[in-house]
Amino acid sequence: MLTAAELTLPADSAAVSERATVLGVYQLPVGPEQGDKVPSERFEGQINRRTWRVEGSGTVLQILAPLREQLVEQGYEVRLDCAARDCGGFGFRFGIEVVPAPDMMVDISRYHFLSAVRGQEAVSVLVSRAGEAAFVQVISAGPRDAAAEVQKPFVQSETGPARPVDLSKVLEVRGHAVLTDLVFESGSTRLRDGEYDSLRELAVFLDANPQYRLLLVGHTDTVGSQAQNAGISERRAQSVKDRLIEAHTADEGRIDVAGAGYLAPIASNLIPEGREANRRVEAVLLAD
């Protein structure tokens, strides 16, 4: 039975998120972006996506290099090893699968990517800095009979409780943040009833920072026309605004809405997982 890589992360790292697909397809990037496309190799099986936040001042290469060495020692063959510009910069970043912010933060000018293969297993590592911290994303794909090993492919050198990413810090560092906990009614633009931490944090942020306004932007996948999706995405953004006002007494005059439709994907629309990631609402920070 194939087993997944077990790597040691820096001692000052903390787990942020974990997403698993029992049976799916992962397109492993194996070359720099060329002509708006990223060359890839298909791997089918169980897919695991994990992210960590790493405190400290280490560069992206200082974080990635030990992980690369461990992969090579375990028999993995490196397929791609590149830094931001050499990978293709903006085009590469938006041509590969990346866990949505705030779970994974990527600075277009400060990231390093590595992909490696061992038999029927694939692993990709993405490291980037954002403000005072660095973020690590690991996507592993392999046969389902290796599921027990793939579930937790990385071991921290010192364990500790996972620390959630502060939404206000994401807004201030990147200027925008995906509201990852929102759930809409099936086939509807109405936000499902319930408490959402992201909306509570947005309301607190607005109240504490009167110099800012927010633009809520809805996004969709590519199913349907752009005109239809623009309308759907704007109505979803409006639903989020309405909930902010009703449940958290946010200042209506400081919140605008817009619908981008499918014009700004953060993942491939060719796979179900990518389409799901693209259906989202983002908060964009504006000066008052």
Could you give the count of Cα atoms lying within 13 Å of 43 in the half-sphere of its Cβ? Answer: 28
- What pLDDT shows up at residue 163? 44
Domain of residue 247, CATH code: 3.30.1330.60
Q: Are residues 186 and 259 in the same domain?
A: yes
Do 52 and 17 meet the contact criterion of CB atoms below 8 Å apart? no
Q: Are residues 265 and 191 in the same domain?
A: yes
Instruction: Tell me how far the alpha carbon of residue 112 is from its chain's centroid.
Output: 15
Q: Are residues 231 and 260 in the same domain?
A: yes
Q: Are residues 139 and 214 in the same domain?
A: no
The residues, any chain, with a CB within 8 Å of residue 155's CB and separated by 6 or more, are 6, 7, 8, 9
Q: pTM score, two decimals?
A: 0.57
Does residue 1 belong to any structural domain of this protein? no
Does residue 2 belong to any structural domain of this protein? no
Does residue 228 belong to any structural domain of this protein? yes
Domain of residue 52, CATH code: 3.40.1000
Q: Are residues 11 and 152 in the same domain?
A: yes
- What pLDDT shows up at residue 145? 53
Count: domains in the chain: 2
Tens-digit pLDDT profile for the chain (288 aa)?
234 567 888 888 888 888 888 889 999 999 999 888 999 999 999 999 999 999 887 899 999 999 999 999 999 999 999 999 999 988 899 899 999 877 888 888 889 999 999 999 999 999 998 877 899 999 999 986 543 343 344 444 444 444 445 788 778 877 888 898 898 887 789 999 989 999 999 999 999 999 999 999 999 999 999 999 999 999 999 999 999 999 999 999 999 999 999 999 877 788 777 788 889 999 999 987
Q: Within a 10 A sphere around the Cβ of 270, how many other Cβ atoms?
A: 10
Range of the structural domain that residue 262 is part of = 167-287
- What pLDDT shows up at residue 44? 92
Which among 156, 183, 208 is the end of a domain? 156
Does residue 116 belong to any structural domain of this protein? yes
Does residue 207 belong to any structural domain of this protein? yes
- What pLDDT shows up at residue 165? 57
